[in-house]
Amino acid sequence: MGRITLDQVTKSFGAVEVIPPLNLTIDEGEFVVFVGPSGCGKSTLLRLIAGLEDVSSGEIRIDREVATHLPPAKRGLAMVFQSYALYPHMSVRKNIAFPLKMAGMDKAEQDKRVDYAAGVLNLTDYLDRRPGQLSGGQRQRVAIGRAIVREPAAFLFDEPLSNLDAALRVGMRLEISELHERLKTTMIYVTHDQVEAMTMADKIVVLHAGVIEQVGSPLELYHTPRNKFVAGFIGSPKMNILEGPVAAQHNASAIGVRPEHLASSAESGTWEGRVGVSEHLGSDTFFHVHDTGLAETITVRASGEMPLRHGDRIFLTPDPDKIHRFDAEGLRMP
């Protein structure tokens, strides 16, 4: 249960091809995160899997059964929408029970499952309220509750946390990870927040303009990005990409150094520059360094105690083992 395979799947809206032929396998029980910049086709891909959009060509298999033309209800998947999509005129209990009611389940069994889901999600006290009387986080949990009562083959989440404030987001992130540990059901999770992707995923799928740039575990993507796009997208702050003579020294067309792999000093180092904006996070400080002659800005992570100010001189030394090299096509060189 819960293995999803996409085989040469494409999607066009009219003349615009949003997803060129795409292959992907999602294994049973995996937590897969789709990340990519806005408009890269993450939601579209998820909706293709859900059956809310028809594929233009190709095949989708769920548990080895061809599901390409099955209606959404028959695919055994549950989806949590960004806007929650709760039914406003129904109580929380009725919302959660709705898929069971549609499946024609008897009332006692419905109640049992709703109570179980409410217990798991801490919703027991709110069962008789309407969605309009709940906070954002509670609504999100109701939406998840509605998904779990069906015991689906897989969960699909489309940016479920993007409407929540930062603190709540961290909390819900943990809750969803916890839920995955508990249910061991396949989950596909769409986000453009790479922190969410890194912290939650077993496997990350990086999308760019409908094309899969790389698939791998979070650390794999961090340590060995397959190309410049993935290198720039995974990691925060972004990797510094340097071109020109400095890259040529490494026999590459471009090199990438992460801010955390640059040593900074006020006295000496390989590259010299001038401090621009500094962002103090307490534990760390991120300096935006200008006038290095290498790139417009280089971001560097320094310890929180580094006493440099705007306009000060700064010296940077890259960790030679952590330099990523890219060829003219932007692909990683070994």
Partner 1 sequence: MATQHSRTAARLMISPSVLLLLCWMIVPLAMTVYFSTLRYNLLMPGSNPFVGWENYQYFLTDPAFLTALVNTLLLVGGVLIITVIGGILLGMLLDQPMWGQGIVRILVIAPFFVMPTVSALVWKNMFMNPVNGLFAYLAEFLGLQPFDFLSQAPLLSIIGIVSWQWLPFATLILLTAMQSLDQEQLEAAEMDGAGAFSRFIYIVLPHLSRAVTVVILIQTIFLLSVFAEILVTTNGGPGNASTNLTYLVYAESLLRFDVGTGSAGGVVAIVLANIVAIFLMRMIGKNLDA
Ligand X SMILES: Nc1ncnc2c1ncn2[C@@H]1O[C@H](COP(=O)(O)OP(=O)(O)OP(=O)(O)O)[C@@H](O)[C@H]1O
**Residues of the shown chain interacting with ligand X in the complex, contacts defined by CB under 6 A:** 13, 18, 36, 38-44, 192
Among 5, 43, 110, 138, binds Mg ion (CB under 5 A): 43
> Which residue from 1, 66, 73, 333 is in contact with partner 1, where contact means CB under 8 A?
73
Sites for partner 1 among residues 14-53 (CB under 8 A): 50-52
Give the DSSP per-residue string, 136-163.
HHHHHHHHHHHHHTT--SEEEEESTTTT
Closest CA to 290 of 271, 266, 304: 271
Q: Please pick, from the candidates 113, 150, 180, 258, the single residue that binds partner 1 as defined by CB under 8 A.
A: 150
Whole-Å CA distances, 140 to 77, 81, 104 = 18, 9, 25
Does 98 participate in binding partner 1 (rule CB under 8 A)?
Answer: yes
Cα dist from 248 to 20, 159, 225, 254, 334, whole Å: 34, 41, 20, 8, 15
Per rule CB under 5 A, is residue 191 in the interface with Mg ion? no
- For residues 331 and 326, give the distance between their C-alpha atoms in angstroms, rounded to a whole number: 5
Site string for partner 1, 105-124 (x = CB under 8 A): --------------------
Do residues 201 and 32 make contact, with C-beta atoms less than 8 angstroms apart? Answer: yes
Q: Which is nearer to partner 1, 102 or 248 (CB)?
A: 102
79 binds partner 1 (CB under 8 A): yes
**Whether the Cβ atoms of residue 2 and residue 156 lie closer than 8 Å to each other:** no
Give residue 131's identity as a one-letter amino acid code: P
Q: Which is nearer to partner 1, 79 or 302 (CB)?
A: 79
Q: Could you list the residues that contact partner 1 (CB under 8 A)?
A: 50-52, 71-73, 77-79, 81-83, 85-90, 98-99, 102-103, 146, 150
Q: Could you list the residues that contact Mg ion (CB under 5 A)?
A: 43
